[in-house]
Structure 1
Amino acid sequence: MKKLTYILLLLTFFAQGQIQKPVVWSSKVEKISDTEFNLIMNATIEKDWHVYSQFTPEDGSLPIVLTFKNSKGNFKLIGKAKESPYKKHFNEDFGVDEYYFENKATLTQRVQILNPKVGKIKVNIDFQACKTQCINDNVELSFDIPEIKSVEATVVPPVVDSVKKDDSAKDSLIVEDDSQLKKAASASVTSPVKEEKKGLWSIFILSFLGGFAALLTPCVFPMIPMTVSFFTKQSKTKAEGKRNAILYGISIILIYVLLGSLVTGIFGADSLNALSTNVWFNLIFFGLLVFFAASFLGAFEIVLPNSWANKVDQQADRGGFVGILFMALALAIVSFSCTGPIVGTLLVEASSKGGIAPIVGMVGFSSALALPFMLFAMFPGWMNSLPKSGGWLNTVKVSLGFLELALAFKFLSNADLVLQSHWLEREVFLAIWIVIFGVWAVYLFGKLTLPHDSPLSHISVGRLFLAILVSVFTVYLIPGLWGAPLKIISGFPPPMSYSESPYGVGGSSTGASEELPEHAHYGPHKIIAFHDYEQGLAYAKKVNKPVLLDFTGHACVNCRKMEEHVWSKSEVLPILKDKVVLISLYVDDKRELPKNEQYVSKETGKEIKTIGNKWSDYQITRYKNNAQPYYIILDSDGTDLTDQIGYTPNAEEYKKWLEVGISKFKK
């Protein structure tokens, strides 16, 4: 038994001390025409590992980045590289959706040849692979391009990506190995179909609720009894009345589905997703939603030309299915002042999903809108159970206006995050939401009236309950200013890292920076940290403390998990603050080294140009490891005192490892 234990420990240590290469790349060329080729990059990924898509949103894990060499005068890229289907997962640590591949991935870049003798095209692929640790790797692939007789330009449809590309670069090491490729090629592929269906279902449900909300507005609700009355009086028999009611509902659905199809057809199924992450389109969406919100709040009415309604109404008198279809179109036009903002908002939201999401959204919206008209026309007796029209309809409309206004700032935040302008950081975003929902609560309590509100002598029980719910939500948001995670709205405000202070308003300690040692910074939980090895080592020697060397990354998920769930523990945090000197070396730091400090790695043969390159190369050279997080305890001369460890989610185990290193230092 003891021998088996020793063998397992030896294998564990050996595994931690090796350069890990969980991803193997291969390449091939596919001819499209005399001057166009598809460059196909295939990645085979070891089991339980995953690689992040080139389209994973900013502030998340590091995406794939493709850098094509010597393109000027030789070839040009047609659009962006297309990807095989990826999976989607919300990352609570970064507060964003992430896109990633399991088992294998394929990227296809179309190029047009400008120089018939180009011969080869080379691309550098930077990527991040994660399991319990993360590895920042890169590989260079080469594509053999046959010599062509002419390079006359041909028109090729642009290849559009699904999400905006992050153009940052990464660093690390990877080696192609045919045996590994063949072995891993047999791995099964996890289909993203379930994830895609889940996204479409969420769009459908959201749109269905939007249709129900539209039904409860002053432009639509009063039309229910009018429409039902028309069918009951004009139909010769009950059967005919029910048939016409069903046709009317189907016509409403067809009209809105046609609208969703037009949006998809005009912009393209895939390009909608790309547009949703574009700075300018986010700003346009922000402006549109503010415009819609102002309309709902009573500033003005959004109406289509009266001539349209008159012409359509005339066609509705023709009878038969065509007449019913025009009746449904008349409903859509007359109610546009209430339904238009909701439809516009739903189409904007659906665009973030891409594909057929706008069509699915319109199916959901129109189904909720059409269903009551159909049911009440089929069963007129139910009309007696409907509440009477009144001021409550405008309350619904105004409430939708507040929701639209709050949602608008999500799109403004998206644009700000892409630009990294820091105009709408987390605290400002939350302050805006607190004010919007606070004013909505005041309105619901009847302390604020807007242009189209009726005189209010009292508020209903339903309105009171809604006012209380909105008030509770407003109060819930307030601690977010002091750094509370606000998990209920996770993904809507900017991430914690994108804030004026990582500790929230009032969380920073005034004057504390004066006590910081030279070159030091505040790390997680206000732990004093150094980001340069030599500077940190010099300070450790000065204060006679051991060093906790932390190889980490800005986009390392498990690094954040260690900091948030292990370092924060009461039994661990005092050790990190008082008994060691923390040196955190970020292997994905993209700041360029001074020219005189740039070099070529003796270990990997790669050019070391950035600070992240430098620390990654140091980790690979000294410890033969390229995964993060990665921890070692050193003495003040830089000698290792402990074995290296990686991701260790058990706080007690991590504490014992720290104590072993500290006790060795004292000896």
Structure 2
Amino acid sequence: MKKFLFALAAFIFSVNVIAQVFEPVKWSTDIEKISDTEYNLISKATIDKGWHLYSQDVPEGGPIPTSFIYDDSEGTFKIVGNTTEDEGHTVNDPVFEMEIKFFEGTAVFKQKIKVKEAVETINGFVEFMVCDDTKCLPPTEVDLVFKVSSNSGANVTETVIKTEDSGNSKEPKSKRGLWSIFIVAFLSGFAALLTPCVFPMIPMTVSFFTKQSKNKAIGIKNAIIYGICIIVIYVLLGTAVTAIFGADALNAMASNPWFNLVFFLLLVVFAVSFLGAFEIMLPNSWANKVDRQADRGGLIGIFFMALALAIVSFSCTGPIVGTLLVEAASKGGLAPIIGMFGFSLAIALPFALFAAFPGWLNSLPKSGGWLNTVKVVLGFLELALAFKFLSNADYVLQLHLLEREVFIAIWIAIFGALAFYLFGKIQLPHDSPLSHISVGRLSLGLLTLAFTIYMIPGLWGAPLNLISAFPPPHDYSESPYGVGSIKAAGASTSDAHEGLPEGAHLMAPHNIMAFRDYETGLAYAKKVDKPVMIDFTGYTCVNCRKMEQNVWVKPKILDVLKNDVVLISLYVDDPKALPEDEIREYTLKPGKYWKDYGDKWGDLQASRYNANSQPFYVLMDHNEENLIDPAAYTPDVDEYYDWLKEGISKFK
């Protein structure tokens, strides 16, 4: 159990930021033979659910229409008439607020041609734009190849939209991110099981089902239904959070300083509750009403029994559920639903399993003071996590109230206090008298103490790779280059930047020269004849800090970033207001305008690269053409180095 708690903390520290890259349309081609000299060139679009491909005929001011070009420059065939299309749907489009014809699912386009002489292949391309109910992707061109055969009428080739890959992994980042949420939520559910409000309910509930059922099979069936009802209740909660706030709005919370401040206060309240200051409880009247419904029996009664468990155990599960929803909500999309599914699955499984094998109940440890210890440990972990959200808000607003040293000092205090608690030197309100310390508790205490001691050098500039994503970066500290550094002690700010081109700054502690303006950095790259590396990042981006502190610091990576490229770091959550003459309309959101630099750089990333997650790295030449497919979070140093060298070699 103790090892599990430490593993839970490690999982919480490793939640990844979700990336999204959209590939909603695939194109295939076919040939339909009409006569010896006449053919139909058939282009078929397969469209992902929820996306719209627009017609060839679109009103002015609307989206880019679908259009086809066929290469008849060699004079081997003649185009007859216009390209025809399916009937499609004509509705008032919510994105462009006008009546537009579009296609869902599939769309088939045909172009009649007359062949003048023998031809084997006809080339062409299609330009198109796709949208869903909330966003649009930039216009895209896809090459089409039609293989004409004199003996048969249908040779098929398939063409897939090429969008920029957001990472170097075979598994999509969005799926990996949702798996991270699920795993953390699942482990959190097991942690909730080991609290005083839930653990004693296991034998009581299983005993009820086994005694009240006519036979063992019915008891097992009822217990399984009970577990399913628990899952349904929590998943409905996650669905409600997503529906109320909206997936896109939730995704924006991670970089909003005011939401981060609210999350901080919320988690502090949860943590203080777990430490024993008070209990967060739902009204007793709710539990009484639900209990009366549970007496009805049947499926309805079982559902209300599950609801009663959720309400009665809320003082223990509420803070954990709240923390999970805060983390999942900041990821957006389906994350809250997936999080609640993982959490409820972990709670529901023991009830079904112990009902099927009631003999296992004898192996369960007896309820006692150790349950409150679990609750207190979770309280300390929640308190530590809360300061990450406060740090996010301070960093985005650039208030310099919670710089790196202060953050690390707070974590040292929190985990130091946890170590003393586990050693029995601190007692909290609901603790039982402690006559001795178990081996498990002592082991967890020693691990916590070791972790606390590990963080102490961070006060003097040590990198702290184990938690590099959590504290503010080195350049957001009282001593960016470390206490005692010659650069920190003897060089003023102006000295540190002496000789740098206008608009550039040095990133501490690596001393990498970087620009924060796209045009300025591009102009300098042309001047020194080096490729450009765009670093789409964010003040609140956890994986960005991991890359900077764990990957960029490696000698061979550092050498490339300092000498072989011009680095442009664009913060997509930069709240600094734009000058009026720089304000533009969003590329993908007609009618909406940029307000700050974060809007500007976020729109650049989304419109040019079809990506909206960070970190996101682009290597390009002076014509702003990609040298290699962009990369995302790549913790493998060798893999990241190979990506850098391959792109730079193409520039040379």
Q: Give the TM-score, by structure 2 length.
A: 0.57
Deviation at 1:349, TM superposition (A): 0.9
Q: Residue 565 in 1 paired to residue 590 in 2?
A: no
Deviation at 1:587, TM superposition (A): 6.8
Find the partner of 1:267 among 225, 242, 245: 245
Inter-partner Cα distance in structure 1 for 2:643 and 2:164: 27
Question: What are the ranges of 5 or more consecutive residues in structure 2 without an aligned counterpart?
Answer: 1-52, 68-92, 99-131, 146-158, 500-504, 516-527, 538-546, 580-596, 598-620, 626-640, 646-652
In structure 1, the residue matched to 2:304 is: 326
The amino acid of 2:365's aligned partner reads: P
In structure 2, the residue matched to 1:351 is: 329
- In the alignment, is the contact (CA less than 8 A) between 2:196 and 2:316 conserved in 1? yes
In structure 1, the residue matched to 2:427 is: 449
Q: Residue 481 in 1 paired to residue 498 in 2?
A: no
Counterparts of residues 563-602 of structure 1 (less than 5 Å): 565-566=555-556
Find the partner of 2:351 among 373, 378, 383: 373
The amino acid of 1:503's aligned partner reads: Y
Find the partner of 1:337 among 308, 315, 327: 315
TM-superposition CA deviations, 1:422-455 (whole Å, max 9, x none) = 2222222222111111111111111101111111
The amino acid of 2:337's aligned partner reads: I
The amino acid of 2:372's aligned partner reads: N
Find the partner of 1:395 among 373, 385, 390: 373
In structure 2, the residue matched to 1:500 is: 478
Change (3 A) 1:36 1:284: farther
Deviation at 1:353, TM superposition (A): 2.1
Q: Residue 194 in 1 paired to residue 219 in 2?
A: no
Find the partner of 1:423 among 397, 401, 425: 401
Change (3 A) 1:363 1:445: same
Counterparts of residues 488-527 of structure 1 (less than 5 Å): 488-507=466-485, 511-513=489-491, 520=498
Find the partner of 1:37 among 62, 82, 89: 62
Change (3 A) 1:372 1:484: same
Change (3 A) 1:436 1:526: closer
Greater shift, 468-477 or 516-525, is seen at 516-525
The amino acid of 1:386's aligned partner reads: L
- In the alignment, is the contact (CA less than 8 A) between 1:551 and 1:585 conserved in 2? yes
Deviation at 1:371, TM superposition (A): 0.9
In structure 2, the residue matched to 1:244 is: 222
- In the alignment, is the contact (CA less than 8 A) between 1:520 and 1:529 conserved in 2? no
User: What SS does the corresponding residue of 2:62 show, helix, strand or coil?
Assistant: strand
TM-superposition CA deviations, 1:226-282 (whole Å, max 9, x none) = 112211221121111111111111111111111111111111233211223222211
Inter-partner Cα distance in structure 2 for 1:355 and 1:530: 36
Counterparts of residues 176-187 of structure 1 (less than 5 Å): none
Change (3 A) 1:249 1:649: closer
Change (3 A) 1:431 1:241: same
- In the alignment, is the contact (CA less than 8 A) between 1:32 and 1:38 conserved in 2? no
In structure 1, the residue matched to 2:274 is: 296
TM-superposition CA deviations, 1:500-527 (whole Å, max 9, x none) = 3322344465651279869727957899
Change (3 A) 1:204 1:568: closer
Change (3 A) 1:508 1:440: farther
Deviation at 1:210, TM superposition (A): 0.6
TM-superposition CA deviations, 1:467-505 (whole Å, max 9, x none) = 111112212222222333322223222223332332234
Deviation at 1:304, TM superposition (A): 0.5
Alignment length, in residue pairs?
A: 440
Q: Residue 404 in 1 paired to residue 429 in 2?
A: no
Inter-partner Cα distance in structure 1 for 2:183 and 2:568: 42
Change (3 A) 1:368 1:39: same
> Root-mean-square deviation (CA), in Å?
5.1
Find the partner of 1:254 among 232, 245, 267: 232
Change (3 A) 1:523 1:41: farther
- In the alignment, is the contact (CA less than 8 A) between 1:524 and 1:563 conserved in 2? no
Find the partner of 1:219 among 183, 187, 197: 197
- In the alignment, is the contact (CA less than 8 A) between 1:552 and 1:559 conserved in 2? no
Inter-partner Cα distance in structure 2 for 1:252 and 1:435: 38
Inter-partner Cα distance in structure 2 for 1:294 and 1:515: 42
Change (3 A) 1:454 1:197: same
Change (3 A) 1:505 1:214: farther
In structure 2, the residue matched to 1:537 is: none
- In the alignment, is the contact (CA less than 8 A) between 1:31 and 1:38 conserved in 2? no
Q: Give the TM-score, by structure 1 length.
A: 0.56
Change (3 A) 1:161 1:199: farther
In structure 1, the residue matched to 2:119 is: none
- In the alignment, is the contact (CA less than 8 A) between 1:391 and 1:454 conserved in 2? yes
Inter-partner Cα distance in structure 1 for 2:344 and 2:514: 56
The amino acid of 2:62's aligned partner reads: F
In structure 2, the residue matched to 1:461 is: 439
- In the alignment, is the contact (CA less than 8 A) between 1:214 and 1:338 conserved in 2? yes
Inter-partner Cα distance in structure 1 for 2:415 and 2:318: 23
User: What SS does the corresponding residue of 1:310 show, helix, strand or coil?
Assistant: helix
Change (3 A) 1:586 1:251: closer
Change (3 A) 1:246 1:511: closer
Inter-partner Cα distance in structure 2 for 1:567 and 1:211: 40
Q: Residue 435 in 1 paired to residue 413 in 2?
A: yes
- In the alignment, is the contact (CA less than 8 A) between 2:325 and 2:336 conserved in 1? yes
The amino acid of 1:321's aligned partner reads: L
Change (3 A) 1:41 1:461: farther
Inter-partner Cα distance in structure 2 for 1:29 and 1:265: 27
Greater shift, 216-225 or 262-271, is seen at 262-271
- In the alignment, is the contact (CA less than 8 A) between 1:553 and 1:559 conserved in 2? no
Deviation at 1:459, TM superposition (A): 1.1
Change (3 A) 1:513 1:324: same
- In the alignment, is the contact (CA less than 8 A) between 1:29 and 1:37 conserved in 2? no
User: What SS does the corresponding residue of 2:199 show, helix, strand or coil?
Assistant: coil
Change (3 A) 1:161 1:375: farther
User: What SS does the corresponding residue of 2:448 show, helix, strand or coil?
Assistant: helix
TM-superposition CA deviations, 1:148-174 (whole Å, max 9, x none) = xxxxxxxxx994799xxxxxxxxxxxx
TM-superposition CA deviations, 1:396-444 (whole Å, max 9, x none) = 0000001111111111122223222222222222221111111111111
The amino acid of 1:262's aligned partner reads: A
Inter-partner Cα distance in structure 2 for 1:109 and 1:508: 60
- In the alignment, is the contact (CA less than 8 A) between 2:223 and 2:352 conserved in 1? yes
- In the alignment, is the contact (CA less than 8 A) between 2:536 and 2:569 conserved in 1? no
